[in-house]
Every structure is written in C-alpha cells, then in structure tokens.
Homo-oligomer: A and B are copies of this chain.
Amino acid sequence: MGYKVRFEPAGREMELAPDETILQGAMSAGVHINASCGGSGTCGKCKVKIIKGETTVPPMPMLQAWEVKEGYRLACMTKPLTDIVVEIPVESQIDSSVLRRERAGFAKVLSPQDIHQLVGGWTIDPTVFKRYLELPPATKEDNMSDLARIYRALKQEYGFDRVSTDFRAIKKMSKLLRDADWKVTVTMVLTRRGHKLVNIEPGDTVEKNYSIVVDIGTTTVFGQLLNLHECQVFGCPGFDVDGAERYTLAVASDYNPQISYGEDVISRIVYALKPGGLERLQEVVVRSINKIITELLKMANVERKYVSHMVIAGNTTMTQLFLGMNPRYIREDPYVPTANFLPPVRAIHAGIELGDHVHIYMFPMVASYLGGDIVSGVLGSGIFQRDDLTLYMDIGTNGEIVLGNKDWMMSASCSAGPAFEGGGIKFGMRATRGAIEQVRISPDTYEPMIMTIGRARAKGICGSGLIYMVAELLETGIIDQSGKFMHTLSTNRVRKGEDGYEYVLSWAGENAIGQDITLTEIDIDNLIRAKGAIYAGCKVLLNQADMTFNDLDRLIVAGGFGHYIDLEAAKIIGLLPDIPEEKFMFVGNGSLLGARLLSFSKDLLKEAERIANMMTNIELSNFPSFMDEYVAAMFLPHTDETAFPNIMKIIKAEKAA
C-alpha cells in the first residue's frame, strides 16, 4: 500500500502508510530529525533532501526556491509519491547518531470500515427513517381525515400497518399538507408495536435525515453527526467507491464543563447533592452538548431541523446528571443506580436544542459504576458475538474493563483520574489541534522530536503523547522505573522547575503558547497512578475468572485520548500487558462505537439490552487484592518484571547501550 523510504546516511528503511509524512517515517524508523514545531512547517528545521523518487511539493515558505528545486523538502509536510531515498543534511540532524531502535509502529485506530465489520449479522435499518408521500387531495367523495389519508398512503405505498402518530405531528399536519400541495415527507420511528409517525415536512426531504451521537465522558464530551440517508443508499459500512466514509459528516468534542465542579464522578455526585448542584451540573453539560451540536451542524452545513435521531452513551453518573436524576445513591453503599434501562426521552425535554420530534436513546447500563458507554463499546466491538476470550479496556477518567465472550461477561471499573485525557497534567490538553501526540527523544543528546495533531505549533500534551513521552523518558534513562528524573544528565531539557523536576518538551519560542511546555515529576506520578489502577483492575478481573493476560485471544483498547496509541509505549509504561501485538485492537472512542451502530440499525438495540443484562459486574472495592495489585503496578512497567519479559529486554538493552 505505502511507499518504501530509505533514510541516509543512517541507512534505515521503512514503509510509510498512505498519508504519512517523511517525518513520521523518520520517527518510526528511529531516525532523528530536528523537528520542534510539531510538524507545522514553521520552524524549517526538518529540512531533508530527496535524492531518489518523487514526493509532494507543499508550500514551504521556510525554504528558498533553489532549495526546493534541488530536492529539499520539509520532512514534516512532505509525502512520498514513489519509493524514495531521503538524505538528512547535517543541519537537520540533532546528532550524528540514530536512535538505537525502530518503533514497533503505531497502532492506529481501526478505520470505520474495519470497526463496523467487528459486528456481524446486522443490516442497515435505522430506527428513524423518512418516507415521501404524494397524497390525493381531499374531495367530497374521499373526505377521510388528513391523518387517515396519510395512513392509507403509508399502507398502500410502503406496506406499513399499525402506524401511530405523535400528537406534535398531528397538530401541524392539516395546514402543512395543504401548503405543501399534499406532497410531504414523514419521519417514522420503528417501535415495538409497529411504526410511529413523529414528524411531517413539506416536499421531499428523504435525503436529509441525520443522527447525532454523543459520548458524555467524565472529562470529555464527544459528538458525531451521521448521515442516515447515505448509509441506506450506499449500504453499510457506507463507503463510496473511493473508500471515503460518507456517513460521518462531522466530529467535535469539548471538555465536559462539569470538570469545574469536580474531576471525577464522586466529586460530581458530592456537588450534585448541594442545593442547586444537580440543576447546575445538568445545565452545564446540556449547554456543552448543545454547543457541540451547533458545531457539528455548522461543520457539515446541515440544518438543525433535519436531525431526526439522537443516541447518547455515558457512564451511569454522567447519564443521571445529564437527565437531572439524583445520583446520590450511586455513591452510597450498596451503590444502586436508579435504573439501567431508560425510556427514550424527548430531546427538548432534556434541554437539547433539536426538533421537538427527536427522542434521545440512552444506552442501557449495568451498574452504578458500569454505564452505557461500556455497553456501547461491547456492542460496537462485537465481543458479544464471538467465541474468542476478549478483554475490553476503556481507558478514560474511569477505567472500565469487560472480560468475556458471547456466552459470559464480567466487568469492573476503577477510577484512573483524567490524566489520559490530558486532565491533571500541567500542560495536558485534549487530543485536538496542537496537542503533542508523538515524541521521540535522542538517547545521546536527550533532544526531543515532536509531532502535533493537525501539525500545528504545540499547545500541550494529549493522553497518547503523554504515554509516548513517559515511555521515551524511561527508555532513554531520563527517568528511572519509579518515574523520578535523573539529575546528572548533561542537558538543559531536564531542570528543576517550580513544581519540582521536569523535562522541557518545547521551548517557549517554538510553540503556540509562548512558554516552555514541560512534563513534571508530578505529571509522571499521575500517569503512573492512572495506569496502575487500570492494570490492577484487569488483573483482579482476570483472577476472578481464574485467568491471566496470556489466556486472552484479544485485547480491545478503547479511549478518547488520541488518534493513535503506541502499543510499545503503552506496554513500556505498564498500561497494557506484555502480550503479542497481534492480539491488540484499538477502537478509539468505544462509547461512540455502539451509539453509531444504534443509529444505523434498530436490531442492535435488543442486543444492547441483552449485553447489559448478561454482564456480571464486580465491585473492585470488595476485593482486598485490588489494593495489592495497585501498589504492585506503581512502577514502570511493573514491580513484577517477569510479567513484562519482552519490555524488560528492551529497557535493559537501552540501559546497556
């Protein structure tokens, strides 16, 4: 698929994925190129010379015309068009050496095609769809009621029997029918009894039928705008001939503004119990979702009135807060949620600014600490259909884990804190434009090479960048296995700052925020706690099933912390276990995964309920072994080195070098 790239004078060769830049190739190959602007093309330091083959020629204001003519390119902006040989001029090398080893390669989020193929046996059959009707006008001889006329047409033209109608649609029906000269489009919802007519619009708007899916995370709210019509026309997974995805029209996200009232679910619940607290928490998250909706519609140039469907997944507390349900008993022994299965709620009643016919489908939940986000992930990743023993990990502010297959499932949840979403980290940020997501550090000079999302000047570090970063610091010996900085290295990158020792990733002059972007020892400690909690949770869950990581056929990693996760880096820090690479699958935001599927197929709603019902949740706080496992995991990668044999080999090899 990709092109071969050979880097000289290092002599390293690798294959680039389509759309990857030469700089990304260099990072994977372990070839160090000076690159400090995050790939934004503004520092001009990653200049390379193409000595064989063809490449793209992007606008490169930092280069002279003669340089471009001679074959010079900025590695961060240039992509090969053939196999190429690249020479790295002396001035672009940080040092003459190359990094000691190549990276195993990024585990990219599965493409939408691949993800939708994780779940089999479903067909495109949206819960909410539209039908166009041309009605014969009422006459003296044929003077049935307007509604009866529509029913007759629905039956004659589409075979729909047992149709009921929402009163709001009835209310506007008569005038609209006549104003539209009896040519209308009706929006239908599949119900358990038949069909319900929920909206009526003038003319033919069948092609304008959209769904909004939202994941309410404790730290981040994600939204997607889906094209329900395209998905029907093109069939699932809905790609046209060029393989471009046609049904995800826009994606947007924002921090959950409830963060101001507490970083984790427990502190949110505490706040909700104060006078006016629940109302306040509901209000801010609703406002944030409305903002995301507006953004999605604007990005895709879609009119608000054409959104017919909404699916929301979130953990139990986020769900209850969003709907204004008192979350008090989630936090009090015996930790009981109000309800795991919620009826569809009319969007306007929840304060969501969509048409009054839109209902919100909330993903079913399992327990107080195992919510709809996980059920959605389990649905979307197809675990419930397979014989394979799978461990599903959703890495977020809460780490939620599910172990099982099509016959049984166990689940648990542990509080990891917001580090993986950039929260609680000095220069942490969400995985948006300007976030450092890839880092490599030279083991000789300790100079970093960074790449940002959107190839913009760096603004901070996102979750995946953080994992990367800590792995690199450990591999290069800048920190030790307990996450403490070595103080004796000859580099100005490591220094004592106001929060203790820290590493400077990007100097003030090179980035977008005008101050040094650093990673502190406290940040590293936060990450160690977060990964330790999740790893410990997995261990206890596996113990309960009398299994180990080695028994797993598959490990599905979900999380909104970035577009990429570097598997090796995640293993090096001990977040993921040291098992073969081919067993891993990274699905990105798992909560949106199932929510998307529910928009496309109403059959999967039953499956979602079945999943929620079959899952046995264990309460980690009831297991004293959890604390032991947690303490044991507070090391890089782990106090039990035998659990990470391959990783320890790498670390020791680096140290020996």
Closest chain B CB from A580 CB (angstroms): 38
Q: Within 8 Å CB of A339, what residues of B?
A: 145-148, 165, 170, 173
Closest chain B CB from A610 CB (angstroms): 15
Tell yes or no: A166 within 8 A of B by CB. yes
Instruction: Say whether B138 contacts A334, CB under 8 Å.
Output: yes
Additional 14 contacts, C-beta under 8 A, given A139-B334, A145-B338, A147-B341: A145-B336, A145-B337, A145-B340, A146-B336, A146-B338, A164-B343, A167-B323, A170-B325, A170-B338, A171-B325, A173-B338, A174-B336, A175-B326, A175-B328
A:303-344 near B, CB below 8 Å: 323-326, 328-329, 333-343
Tell yes or no: A631 within 8 A of B by CB. no
Q: Within 8 Å CB of A146, what residues of B?
A: 329, 336-339
Q: Within 8 Å CB of A606, what residues of B?
A: none
**Taking the full assembly, how many copies of this chain does it contain?**
2
Instruction: Say whether B174 contacts A325, CB under 8 Å.
Output: yes
A:362-419 near B, CB below 8 Å: 365, 367
Tell yes or no: A140 within 8 A of B by CB. yes
Tell yes or no: A193 within 8 A of B by CB. yes
Q: Within 8 Å CB of A337, what residues of B?
A: 145-146
Q: Within 8 Å CB of A345, what residues of B?
A: 167
Tell yes or no: A144 within 8 A of B by CB. yes
Tell yes or no: A178 within 8 A of B by CB. yes
Q: Classify the interface of chain A: helix, strand, loop or mixed.
A: loop
Q: How many Å lie between the Cα of A377 and that of B171 in the bound state?
A: 26
Interface string of A131-148 (1 = CB under 8 A from B): 000000011100111111
Tell yes or no: A192 within 8 A of B by CB. yes
Q: How many Å lie between the Cα of A145 and that of B316 in the bound state?
A: 11
Q: How many Å lie between the Cα of A345 and that of B147 in the bound state?
A: 16
Q: How many Å lie between the Cα of A340 and that of B138 in the bound state?
A: 15
Q: How many Å lie between the Cα of A170 and that of B147 in the bound state?
A: 33
Specify which of B170, B326, B622 is in contact with A174 (CB 8 Å cutoff). B326
Q: Within 8 Å CB of A323, what residues of B?
A: 167, 171
What would 10 A/B residue contacts be, using CB atoms closer than 8 Å? A140-B333, A143-B335, A143-B336, A146-B338, A147-B339, A165-B343, A167-B349, A178-B329, A192-B193, A193-B193
Closest B residue to A165 using CB positions: B343
Closest chain B CB from A316 CB (angstroms): 9
Closest chain B CB from A412 CB (angstroms): 14
Interface string of A110-154 (1 = CB under 8 A from B): 000000000000000000000000000011100111111000000
Closest chain B CB from A343 CB (angstroms): 5
Q: How many Å lie between the Cα of A171 and that of B343 in the bound state?
A: 11
Q: Within 8 Å CB of A164, what residues of B?
A: 343
* Nearest 5 CB-CB pairings of A with B: A147-B339, A143-B334, A174-B338, A140-B334, A138-B336
Q: How many Å lie between the Cα of A606 and that of B166 in the bound state?
A: 19
Q: Within 8 Å CB of A140, what residues of B?
A: 333-334, 619, 622
Q: How many Å lie between the Cα of A342 and that of B170 in the bound state?
A: 8
Instruction: Say whether A174 contacts B334, CB under 8 Å.
Output: no
Instruction: Say whether B336 contacts A144, CB under 8 Å.
Output: yes
Closest chain B CB from A575 CB (angstroms): 30
Q: How many Å lie between the Cα of A173 and that of B340 in the bound state?
A: 13
Q: How many Å lie between the Cα of A343 and that of B148 in the bound state?
A: 13
Closest B residue to A138 using CB positions: B336
A:207-235 near B, CB below 8 Å: none
Q: How many Å lie between the Cα of A367 and that of B338 in the bound state?
A: 46
Q: How many Å lie between the Cα of A622 and that of B622 in the bound state?
A: 80
Q: Within 8 Å CB of A175, what residues of B?
A: 326, 328
Given contacts A171-B324, A334-B138, A345-B167, contact A148 B329 (CB under 8 A): no
Q: How many Å lie between the Cα of A336 and that of B619 in the bound state?
A: 61
Instruction: Say whether A174 contacts B138, CB under 8 Å.
Output: no
Instruction: Say whether A166 contacts B343, CB under 8 Å.
Output: yes
Q: Within 8 Å CB of A166, what residues of B?
A: 343
Q: Within 8 Å CB of A145, what residues of B?
A: 336-340, 365, 367
Closest B residue to A196 using CB positions: B343
Q: How many Å lie between the Cα of A212 and that of B335 in the bound state?
A: 41
